[in-house]
Amino acid sequence: ILHTILFHRALGLVRPKDADLELFDITYVQCGDLEIEKKIEEKIEQFISWVEKHPNEKSQVCGV
């Protein structure tokens, strides 16, 4: 879902790329920029790590 949000907010020329998520049987859009996709994945991993270390605290993802 984060890839799709960033795709819609990306500035400049982007080449959309469909990605399939077999676990939930859905297709979503990625922005197609490998650098951006790498940063998104890093931030997702950081978020998951934080949630696992603080299981009883509320957490949220927000875009700035």
51 is a domain residue: no
57 is a domain residue: no
17 is a domain residue: yes
> Rounded to two decimals, what is the model's pTM?
0.59
Give the residue numbers spanning the domain of 37: 1-45
Share of the chain above pLDDT 90, in %: 8
64 is a domain residue: no
Residue 56 has pLDDT above 80, yes or no: yes
2 is a domain residue: yes
Q: So what's the pLDDT on residue 53?
A: 93
63 is a domain residue: no
- Tokens coding 28: 């979503």
The total number of structural domains that make up the chain? 1
Measured CA to CA in angstroms, residue 45 lies from 5, 9, 25, 50, 52 at distances of 17, 21, 22, 9, 11
